[in-house]
Amino acid sequence: MAHSGDPPAAHSYTADKTDWMYAIAIAIGAGVAVVAILGVTNAAFGRIEAVMSGLMLAGASGLVGAFLGFLFGIPRSKQAQAQLALEEGRSAREYLENTNLEQISDWLTKIIVGLTLVQFEQIKAFVVGVGAVFGKVFVATPATTTADTAGAIAVAVILYFVIAGFLFAFLWTRIHMENVLRQQSAEGDIAIERLLERRQEQENIANAKAFELTDAYLDPAADPNAKMFDNLEEKVKESSLIARTMIFDRARTVRQKNWRDGGNKKLIDRTIPIFRGLIAAAPDRQHRNYGQLGYALVKASQPNWSEAQAALEKAIRLRGDDDSGQGYYELNLAVALINQDPDFLAGKASTAATRERVAGLLDRAGEVVDLNGEPAIKSWAALNDYRIKPPR
């Protein structure tokens, strides 16, 4: 036996509510007909005047009921499900969107319920008073019993249309407004998904271009002065985190392959603007970027000792308990300080303060690196009576 795609329970529930709307609409039409008949038969008041007054009373009562039904029927957002969707990485728009309107309706319904309970006698007196005024619209006989009956009829008309208007508006709001909000939410989800897809596609293209550009720049056969490499540092800065990670690995590999004697110092020079761009993209955050820049500046074809010192000092501060660069940052910082020491450059021993700082760095570096591999360190150690120990 074939089954429909819609859940039977949900379909039956919606159909039942729609059937009730039709029934209430018929009841409203019947009430209008009764009001019109009462007005037409009231020749003493004036048939046209009676019909119009009765319909105005019925319409006003129905609108009051409809307004209340609308307030009570406004769908409530599924905040818990939305929060769960966010935590699970799904769309948070799995709810009926209603922010200010929902809050206002909730506020007003509480006020209306509270006032009705507290001011019930005053509301009752007001309705009875309106019924007494409009009673002659339905029955114009001046007798006392008839006047009470006419007032009761008017009150019945008020209550009838208030209740009918409330039920009709409540069901309409629950069925149709809910569907409209669901459709709006679904359309919004689709639009957001398409926007995210376009942005992801654009980001992927930009990532590929950024990596290809830096890869081409680090190619020994490339002309570093080519126009395509203009503003390379800025382009690296504007690339995404994923692209910057790939660019960092590529630049570090090039530097590591060329820092020893016999390596291509010009390629090390090319890594410098790349590491600067990476630092500009995330300043004061990644110690590895500062450390790699310091390494490159120390081993460049024309070393920049002061900038290398600043980069390596920042790398050491940011490193914290991370084991990366332990000893190597200190080694290269010591080399940068030695090559800026005017006493060392003059072939003399360093001042006590300089010797203390450089010695402290060399002690830390000597735990993991053979200090004899650096000519500047060997010369400085000889001038300053510093004993180089083999690494542990």
Q: pLDDT 10s per residue in the chain (392 long)? A: 444 444 444 445 455 666 777 888 888 888 888 888 887 887 777 888 888 888 898 888 889 888 888 888 777 655 544 444 544 444 444 444 445 666 776 777 778 777 778 888 888 888 888 878 887 878 765 554 466 777 888 888 888 888 888 888 888 888 777 677 677 666 666 777 887 788 878 787 878 888 899 999 999 999 999 999 998 999 899 888 889 999 999 999 999 999 888 899 999 999 999 999 999 999 998 999 999 999 999 999 999 999 999 999 999 999 977 666 688 999 999 999 999 999 999 999 999 999 999 999 999 999 888 898 899 999 999 999 999 988 77
Note whether 191 and 334 are same-domain residues: no
In-domain check, residue 317: no
Q: What letter would DSSP give residue 299?
A: S
Q: Quick check: is 225 in a domain?
A: no
**233 and 273 Cβ atoms separated by less than 8 Å:** yes
Residue 124 lies in a domain: yes
Assess if residue 307 is contained within a domain.
no
pLDDT at 267: 95
| Total of domains in the chain | 2
Q: What is the pLDDT of residue 142?
A: 56
Gap between the Cα atoms of 52 and 38, Å rounded: 11
Long-range (24+ apart) CB contacts under 8 A made by 372-376 are: 374/331, 374/335, 376/335, 376/338, 376/339
337 in helix, strand or coil? helix
Q: CB-based contacts of 28: which residues, under 8 Å, 6+ apart? A: 62, 161, 164, 165, 168
Q: What is residue 145's predicted lDDT score, i.e. its pLDDT? A: 47
Q: What is the pLDDT of residue 269?
A: 95
Residue type, 158: I
> If DSSP states are collapsed to H, E and C, what string results for 39-97?
HHCCCCCCHHHHHHHHHHHHHHHHHHHHHHHHHHHCCCCCHHHHHHHHHCCCCCCCCCC
Q: Is residue 17 part of a domain?
A: yes
Written as six digits, the tokens of 310 are 């600043």
Contacts of 236 (CB under 8 A, 6+ apart): 210, 214, 244, 247, 273, 274, 277, 278, 280, 281
In a domain, 302, yes or no: no
Same-domain status, 192 and 330: no
User: Containing domain of residue 370, as a range?
Assistant: 326-392
Last residue of a domain, one of 199, 224, 249: 199
* Short-list 69, 50, 61, 25, CA closest to 155: 61
33 in any annotated domain: yes
What is the signed CA dihedral for 248, 253, 258, 264, rounded to 10 degrees?
-70
Query: Does the residue 49 lie in any domain?
Result: yes
Last residue of a domain, one of 146, 169, 199: 199
- Which residue, 167, 199, 231, sits at the end of a domain? 199
